[in-house]
Amino acid sequence: MDVLLAPFQYDFMQRAFVAALVVGGLCSTMGTYVVLRKLSFIGDGLAHASFAGIVVAYLRNFSYYIGAGVVAVLTALAIGFVYRRGNVSLDTAIGVLFTGMFALGVFLMSRS
């Protein structure tokens, strides 16, 4: 038993354990919500769509984080708009918009 508890004598291990418990609780709760709302594809979609924002920020010498965040939020709003106004499923709206935004990022990067 000492072998298992010995690492917890260090402060950083205690903080890491608490952080792991908090992250595990939050991620499991959020993950369940996302799956029940049928949005399991949204994380991948927004991550790929934010590439266009990173490219624009790179071309304008701006913060990559802000560029990615702005484009991710705009893409999420566009997904909601297309889903509510169009006669398409949520996965279709996510797939079309993230593919289009990723293609826009590739196009802009190839032009620079």
Tell me how many domains the chain contains.
2
Q: Does residue 30 share a domain with residue 55? A: no
9: pLDDT strictly greater than 90: no
Q: Which residue has the higher pLDDT, 57 or 86?
A: 57
d(CA 79, CA 85) in angstroms, rounded, equals: 10
46 and 101 assigned to the same domain:
yes
Domain of residue 96 covers 42-111
Nearest one of 32, 45, 49 to 91, comparing CA atoms: 45
28 and 14, same structural domain? yes
- 8 and 58 inside one domain: no
What pLDDT, on a 0 to 100 scale, did the predictor assign at position 87? 84
**Tens-place pLDDT, residues 10-46:** 899 899 999 999 999 999 999 898 888 888 888 888 9
- Residue 79 shares a structural domain with residue 107: yes
Instruction: Verify that 49 and 69 share a domain, yes or no.
Output: yes
The percent of residues above 70 in pLDDT, for the chain, comes to 100
Give the mean model confidence (pLDDT) for residues 100-108.
94
CA–CA separation, 112 and 97 (whole Å):
23
Are residues 63 and 106 both part of a single domain? yes
Whether 49 and 81 map to the same domain: the answer is yes
Judgement on whether residues 86 and 55 belong to the same structural domain of the protein: yes
Q: What is the pTM of this model?
A: 0.72
Residue 76: pLDDT band with limits 50, 70, 90: very high
